[in-house]
Amino acid sequence: MVAVFAYFVLPAILLVLGVPIFLVLLVTCLAVVLFVADVPTATMHTFLFSGLDNFPLLAVPFFVLAGEIMARGGIARRVVVWVMSLVGGVRGSLAVTTVAASEVFGAMAHTAVGTVVAMGRMLYPSLRDNGYSERFSLGLIASSGAIAIVIPPSIAMILYSLSAQQSAVALFTAGILPSLLIGLVDALYVMIYARVKAVPLTSRARWEAIWSSTKDAAWSISTIVVILGGIYGGVFTPTEAAGVAVVYSLFVTMVVHREVGLKELWQIIQSAVFLNAQILLIVTAAGLYSWLLTTSGIPQQIIAEVNALHLPPWALLLCINVLLLIMGSFLEPPAAILIMTPLLLPVVQLVGVDPVHFGIIMTINLSIGMYTPPFGLNLFATQAVFQTPLGNIYRGVLPFLLINFTTLMVITYVPSISLVLLGR
């Protein structure tokens, strides 16, 4: 009973009280070490530091820095203009641009909140000026930004690969079709919305505009080619790709476009350091919690209890999806992945779920959780950027929650969507 309280009830109470997640995890681990686990307290600080001594984990701070450079250095703006030139003249083209540009920028920036901020600042005024309601525009921006969690190369997938001992490249490959499917479903929905609401048409796509925007955005768009081409071509590892992304984005913003000077670079680095500190504190604290939980034998007890229920695979996966969605609305993806993977992966493997496919299921759930009321992080980011009541944002994201949860169910029960590119 004491173990259940320490591992599960105590962190739940602290979360409800609004304690930062890294402190929730550290206090929980301290309580476990003092009152439950038979390990010396020196284990805590030893594990906290050794948990960060991991080469693949270097990808996280590099990708965060690259994302900050791209968001502030004109790359995001050029991507938006390029996408808009391609889809102009279609009813709902501006909303489709928001979805498509979020996918493209998410593949480069790897951060959901960064995508919300970058896309929101550029596209929200145009959405409102072109006949889209405030509620719809806010919901579109908050939900589209979350695609950065799923589309490769994804920081969430890197953390899952470390926790589940799976190949990061395999996870990146498996995430390609699901992320494109989510974007396609969102694009279809916003086009239907635009037709029903009789949103005015934007200017038609013209070859001159496409050619001009493509030339202007060529260096920016090539970021994806450099990163993914290098990874899949075997030129460098995902960790090395993160370093390449920083160097390339610096070259584009400071040398090619000359939109970032030394003063702006210093501000970008400061912002990235602050964000990295938050992420890595959560990663190391969640790693300690995960280790204590795994060695406690609780995951094995959960497996035994699940076996005793004799749930069919579809029912088990449905329950896990609901659980992950709830967890994703309270926890940031790094913490949720590192805490839940050791608990859930053995359970789903018992019913024959591929670990890579489960990684995709988990990341999609957590991406939806980013804009699930009441505590999804993208909701607060949207509110902070636009200074609008949270109630408007909650109502705006509800249609996207429904359609994306439906898409999640399709991806969950049709594993070939995730695994076909891996030949499984």
Q: Could you tell me the residue ranges of all domains in the chain?
A: 56-422
Chain centroid to CA 124: how far? 21
Q: What is the average pLDDT value for the chain, to the nearest integer?
A: 82
Please classify residue 292 by burial: count the beta carbons closer than 10 Å to its beta carbon, then call 0-12 exposed, 13-18 middle and 19+ buried.
Answer: buried
Helix (H) or strand (E) holding 183, with range, is helix 168-196
Report the distance separating Cα 67 and Cα 75, nearest Å: 10
Nearest CA among 64, 77, 127 for reference residue 104:
77
pLDDT score at 400 = 92
Tens of pLDDT, residue by residue over 329-370, are 777 788 788 888 888 888 888 888 899 999 999 999 988 988
Query: In angstroms, how far is CA 172 from the centroid of its own chain?
Result: 13
Residue range 198-212: mean pLDDT, rounded = 72
Confidence at residue 356, expressed as pLDDT on a 0 to 100 scale: 94
- Tens of pLDDT along 59-80? 778 877 887 888 777 777 787 7
Q: Where are the alpha helices (DSSP H) in 251-354?
A: 262-296, 298-309, 313-330, 333-350
pLDDT cut 90: percent of the chain above it: 13
**Per-residue confidence (pLDDT) for residue 404, from 0 to 100:** 93
Does 147 score more than 90 pLDDT? no
pLDDT band at 299 (very low <50, low <70, confident <90, very high): low
Does this model's pTM top 0.85? no
Nearest alpha carbon to residue 159 among 61, 234, 70, 240: 61
Find out whether 365 and 323 touch, Cβ atoms under 8 Å: no
Peptide bond into 153 cis (omega under 30): yes
Best CA proximity match to 141, nearest among 80, 89, 198, 209: 80
